[in-house]
Structure 1
Amino acid sequence: MAQLQKRKPARMELSPRVAQAPPRTTPSGGPVKRRTASPFGAMNRTKVPARLEPNKGSEAEARRSPRGKDKTKPKEKREGFHALKMQRALAPIGYGHRSAVKSKIQHLDSFEQFPLLDLVKESIASQAFPGLEDVAPTPVQRLALPALLGADHKDGRAKSPPVSSQMEQFLLAAETGSGKTLAYLLPVIDAIKRAEMMEANAEAQEKAQKKATEELRKNESDIFGLEPPPMIGPHPTAGRPRAIILVPTAELVDQVASLAKAFSHTVKYRAAPISAAYTGKVIRNRLFSPGGIDMLVSTPHLLASIAESEPNVLSRVSHLVIDEADSLLDRSFSPLTSAIIDKSTPSLRQLIMCSATIPRSLDSYLRKRFPDIKRLVTPNLHAIPRRVQLGVVEVEKDPYRGNKDLACAETIWTIGKSAEEHGGSEDGSAKEKADTKHIIVFVNEREKAAEVAQYLASKGIDAEALSRDTASLRQSPTLAAFTGTAHESNAASSATSATIVADRTLRGAPPRRTLPNTKVLVTTDLGSRGIDTLAVRHVILYDVPHTTIDFIHRLGRTGRMGRRGRGIVLVGKNDRKDIVKEVREGMFKGQALI
């Protein structure tokens, strides 16, 4: 150990090469490469390394490159959207195709021109449009009904059913509030009744054949050849619906089922809605009713869980409708929806996908999974109707000074106090004064929904929040005021206002001024998908939407079924003003936001 310690140099002893400069060449004669990976590798340098210098191309390349352009020439103004290209999420559709579709459907102006059963035609005016005399189909109905019914456009008659058992695939895409639900519901109802008629004829022939056989055996006095009496059991269609309609939320289940059950009163078929809003006993009784079931409206999560334990639920489905396909075929819903499609494919005759927008993700999914799908696209797809006006409120200016809550409350008070009349129809011929104004405020975060609703309530406004955090028992009554009839909305608004005043009186607080003739719903995108908000005339975008798709769905809550509407965007300091400007220009010109 002593000898080893003697060989070890002292701590303060310098190296004999300390005064020598580093070698400039390697033993082979080449230059020594300096280490640049270390933190001190770029110190004491006077020249820019060659690897960091910009590439200097030829003069011809400089002329071709944007940097080599002559700055003296005036810049050419490019047409189209520029800010919206950063949010490009919609599949492009040519205007030539839109014009061709418009000329194709212009001669269809009555439901009598479609090859529907007489009983179904008679029920349209009484069940779908009660109280209206002159009923005409919308563009999406003119386009979808002949295709889904297999009608020939030349003579208007229905084609014979195809010999092959391959299912028909349709993509029904139309703007919000254009009547897509009725467009796919009428062909499904017609198919159910035609299937019933065919089964009834086959059953009658079978009974007649059995009766003839029994009479023949009686004549031969063969008592041992008689068949036993039929056993009494459940209906053969119990738990095996003919048609299934899939929607993303429980609110849409009730909305679509209400229209389907309205037609069942006159057309006579069995329709049932099931969702997480109902108890297990109610779901079991509706699905496995002794009288059977023809049409089922459900969500993918619930139906997929039922199909795992009861595979026969999908064994008889001939028509499958996927409403709001852009939502049901995204990352969250796609595995469940695809599994339902796969399990029902053996008996499926028609697959109908319905959506108000065609995102690029949905477009690529359909091209891979269903390359032969027939796309039924209306001329105004991806365009916000021109009857909807869009206003902008600058939150940073006086008197708000960046307070977006105050700007929202002041806008609602202005709408509530205004005495202007709005048209009940598109041309404004039937004028009516709104006793209760219904306003929807859209926010991006569900936590913000409750916060904004609480602030508006403190300012005397009847406001409620609707999000995923809202209890299921409160969701249906909250939406009823915005989708129900006028007298129900007025009663609900008066009751809520009276509750607010009584509550403040019991607490001993002085009565604050309230806005009794206005009802506000603060919600997220939960309320922007498929909800038929006919009573809504004003929509306030508290937050600027993230994508163009959200713009279309949120502003689509007003101006539905030919009515006028107004949208107001609250633009703050960090919001994209250029996007809002382009959306306004596109709405004014009637262009699609792509």
Structure 2
Amino acid sequence: MVLSDRVARAPKRDTDSRDSRDSRDSRDSKQPRRRSEGPFGGMNQTFARIREDTPRQPFRNPRHNDRDQKDRGKTDGRRIKAMKMQSSLASIPYGQRTRTKASMTELESFGQLDLLPTLKSAISDEVLKGLVDIKPTPVQRLAIPALLGQEIGRRRSRVDISKSGRQEFLLAAETGSGKTLAYLLPAVNALKEAEAADVEISTYREAFERQMAAMREPGYEGPREFEPHPTTARPRVVVLVPTAELVGQVGAVAKSLSHAVKFKTSLFSANVSAKVIQNSMYSPRGIDLIVTTPHLLASMADSDPNILSRISHLIVDEADSLFDRSFSPVTTSILDRALPSVQQLILCSATIPKRLDSYLAREFPNMIRITTPNLHAIPRRVQLGVIDVSKDPYRNNKNLACADAIWSIGKDAARHEGSVPGEIEIKRIMVFVNEREKTQEVAEYLVSKGIDAVALHRDTEEQRQSEMLESFTSSEPMMAKLSDSPEPAIGQSRRSLPNTKVIVATDLASRGIDTLAVRHVILYDVPHTTIDFIHRLGRAGRMGRRGRGVVLVDRNDRRDIVAEVRESMYMGQALI
């Protein structure tokens, strides 16, 4: 055996040898680099050359090394950005999705739930009045039994109780899936059961009836005023939402339940005057459930800390927003003061961002997570189209492309008359931009092209926001006459499109608002994250309806991300 003449030398690392080979190959461009050391390359070695298995790189001509290096750097950079964008959501295993989907079939109707008879009748007579074939949605089939502690079929509701004796739940379901009713029904059911077992309330009612009977007697000269109700300024159920529009939306469902179940509900937001809020909170008849925003509730609790002293059910709707950005300090301060008396803490969201996922794992380790099979997936009933603005006839003019898309929708709708001859249904369209400064610019341009458009952003007054969204949240069809040809306003085009209404908005209008009438959504700007994709496209196709989204892409936008989202929507997969 012949030993190598390099036995006495220190062995070089593989990386050094590869580097030297690469430099030698680059000097001699005519000789291609050897892809392997041959069948006898392992002989005459004095140390173990153990390397991790790495994917074999394809052979590249050394003459293209510099150009390939630049292109590879660009591709890697874009891939890293795409991965960061996709990783903004917490992943849900598909095995869990499959098991959840199989367990939902065990609950077929609201009649199987352990709810009060008045609540069951209120579902069909008040909340879902006029609908036929009423069945629970997927999130309602999963969440209501769990919140009630009810066993459905072979599925037993596992409830972990924290050290403080509190139940903690996270309801995560896609937009427009019925989460509001999923958490209100169990909360109201518990509210009425606690009211029936409350000795203080029973004593108050007896004293109230005695005083009423005495006041009916002739010659009564006693006091005409009643003692305050035990629940005055001490609500049992509190629902927190981020905006005044959601206060009205969630409050409408709670009000409809209160008509049949008989409990006191109040809505507090910037649209309500301070005097009305004070009269409702300190009403002698008491208060059971309030729907409000965190900042308003925190300001009320600062003046009267006892407002948070009897809360048994605290519900945080749109938790991904209320635990992020400007809402987080206020929301956490309310939780800190209210949690000692809370029996059930319920968080609801259409998405689970990784920041929220980490916060809940740290602060509420016993929280039960109830997720639907289609979480983080845009419904397949929503179709996504792409307009390449960089090509003719737009030539990177997004305003022109947006107006052209709206005109196409309006013209297509004009071909189909409504049920009444000579009338046509007005299409309500939402246009989403990334920056609030852009909303006014886009709205003014659309108006100049004969389109009825208004801008909605955080600087818009609360009252004006409610007025603008009122027609978009109503499921009633809006009709227009085909012969209508109103005089154009100053700065408006001679051509007009009377059968469309457009709101140009930021993400302010994309969170939780039940835009049942919206069938078309235009993404003027490509969203920054998949979370924004889900919320914006979720404004269309709600409650089983079909919808369509259009995204405008120019040369500066992330085309690869749009392609990935479109493919995931087509396949019915989650955006994770």
Distance (Å, rounded) in 1 between the aligned partners of 2:537 and 2:257: 29
Gap change, CA 1:349 and 1:70, over 3 Å in 2:
same
Please tell me whether the aligned partners of residues 454 and 503 of structure 2 are also in contact (alpha carbons under 8 angstroms): yes
What is the root-mean-square deviation of aligned Cα atoms in Å? 3.3
**What is the CA deviation profile of residues 101-129 of structure 1, one whole-angstrom value per residue up to 9, with x for unaligned ones?**
11111121101011111100001012221
Is residue 352 of structure 2 the alignment partner of residue 358 of structure 1? Answer: yes
**What is the CA deviation profile of residues 48-94 of structure 1, one whole-angstrom value per residue up to 9, with x for unaligned ones?**
xxxxxx9625699897486963539xxxxxxxx98742302000110
Query: Structure 2 counterpart of 1:310, which letter?
Result: D
Q: 2:306 — aligned with what?
A: 312
Query: Structure 1 counterpart of 2:84, which letter?
Result: M
Cα distance, 1:203 vs. partner?
2.8
Q: 1:56 — aligned with what?
A: 16
Identity of aligned residues (%): 57
Q: 2:476 — aligned with what?
A: 486
Distance (Å, rounded) in 1 between the aligned partners of 2:536 and 2:497: 24
Query: Structure 1 counterpart of 2:129, which letter?
Result: P
Query: Structure 2 counterpart of 1:130, which letter?
Result: K
Q: Could you list the runs of 5+ residues in structure 1 that have no partner in the other structure?
A: 1-53, 73-80, 212-227, 425-432
Q: 1:297 — aligned with what?
A: 291
Please tell me whether the aligned partners of residues 115 and 158 of structure 1 are also in contact (alpha carbons under 8 angstroms): no
Q: 1:462 — aligned with what?
A: 452
Q: 2:383 aligns with which of 389, 396, 401?
A: 389
Distance (Å, rounded) in 2 between the aligned partners of 1:243 and 1:199: 15
Distance (Å, rounded) in 2 between the aligned partners of 1:172 and 1:271: 23
Q: Aligned pairs, how many?
A: 497
Gap change, CA 1:155 and 1:268, over 3 Å in 2:
farther
Query: Structure 2 counterpart of 1:199, which letter?
Result: D
Distance (Å, rounded) in 2 between the aligned partners of 1:103 and 1:421: 43
3-state SS in 2 of match to 1:293: coil
Distance (Å, rounded) in 2 between the aligned partners of 1:55 and 1:300: 58
Cα distance, 1:375 vs. partner?
0.3
Distance (Å, rounded) in 2 between the aligned partners of 1:553 and 1:162: 32
3-state SS in 1 of match to 2:326: coil
Distance (Å, rounded) in 1 between the aligned partners of 2:51 and 2:82: 30
Gap change, CA 1:421 and 1:336, over 3 Å in 2:
farther
**What is the CA deviation profile of residues 422-454 of structure 1, one whole-angstrom value per residue up to 9, with x for unaligned ones?**
9x9xxxxxxxx9711010000001110011001
Distance (Å, rounded) in 1 between the aligned partners of 2:187 and 2:347: 13
Q: 1:168 — aligned with what?
A: 167
Distance (Å, rounded) in 2 between the aligned partners of 1:188 and 1:256: 13
Please tell me whether the aligned partners of residues 195 and 201 of structure 2 are also in contact (alpha carbons under 8 angstroms): no
Q: 2:143 — aligned with what?
A: 144
Distance (Å, rounded) in 1 between the aligned partners of 2:244 and 2:329: 19
Distance (Å, rounded) in 2 between the aligned partners of 1:365 and 1:160: 20
Distance (Å, rounded) in 1 between the aligned partners of 2:16 and 2:393: 54
**What is the CA deviation profile of residues 342-372 of structure 1, one whole-angstrom value per residue up to 9, with x for unaligned ones?**
1111211000000000000000000000000
Cα distance, 1:277 vs. partner?
2.3
3-state SS in 2 of match to 1:438: strand
**What is the CA deviation profile of residues 246-304 of structure 1, one whole-angstrom value per residue up to 9, with x for unaligned ones?**
00111111111111111111111111110122221121112112211000111111111
Distance (Å, rounded) in 2 between the aligned partners of 1:196 and 1:157: 27
3-state SS in 1 of match to 2:325: coil
Equivalent residues in 2 for 1:99-118, closer than 5 Å: 99-118=98-117
Query: Structure 2 counterpart of 1:189, which letter?
Result: V
Distance (Å, rounded) in 1 between the aligned partners of 2:529 and 2:161: 42
Structure with higher Rg: it is 1
Query: Structure 2 counterpart of 1:56, which letter?
Result: D
Please tell me whether the aligned partners of residues 558 and 566 of structure 1 are also in contact (alpha carbons under 8 angstroms): yes
Please tell me whether the aligned partners of residues 84 and 582 of structure 1 are also in contact (alpha carbons under 8 angstroms): no
Q: 1:374 — aligned with what?
A: 368
Distance (Å, rounded) in 2 between the aligned partners of 1:438 and 1:551: 19
3-state SS in 1 of match to 2:345: strand
Distance (Å, rounded) in 2 between the aligned partners of 1:472 and 1:172: 28
**What is the CA deviation profile of residues 332-351 of structure 1, one whole-angstrom value per residue up to 9, with x for unaligned ones?**
22221111111111211000
Query: Structure 1 counterpart of 2:510, which letter?
Result: S
Equivalent residues in 2 for 1:183-582, closer than 5 Å: 183-199=182-198, 203=202, 232-419=226-413, 435-486=425-476, 489-490=478-479, 501-502=486-487, 504=489, 512-582=494-564
Distance (Å, rounded) in 1 between the aligned partners of 2:547 and 2:88: 25
Cα distance, 1:153 vs. partner?
2.4
**What is the CA deviation profile of residues 124-148 of structure 1, one whole-angstrom value per residue up to 9, with x for unaligned ones?**
0122212112101000000000000
Cα distance, 1:324 vs. partner?
0.4
Distance (Å, rounded) in 1 between the aligned partners of 2:262 and 2:527: 44
Equivalent residues in 2 for 1:83-162, closer than 5 Å: 84-87=82-85, 88-154=87-153
Q: Could you list the runs of 5+ residues in structure 2 that have no partner in the other structure?
A: 1-13, 19-36, 38-47, 61-78, 211-221
Cα distance, 1:196 vs. partner?
1.6
Gap change, CA 1:315 and 1:455, over 3 Å in 2:
same
Gap change, CA 1:286 and 1:204, over 3 Å in 2:
closer
Query: Structure 2 counterpart of 1:180, which letter?
Result: K
Distance (Å, rounded) in 1 between the aligned partners of 2:531 and 2:301: 32
Distance (Å, rounded) in 2 between the aligned partners of 1:271 and 1:293: 6
Distance (Å, rounded) in 1 between the aligned partners of 2:162 and 2:459: 50
Cα distance, 1:229 vs. partner?
10
Distance (Å, rounded) in 2 between the aligned partners of 1:338 and 1:510: 48
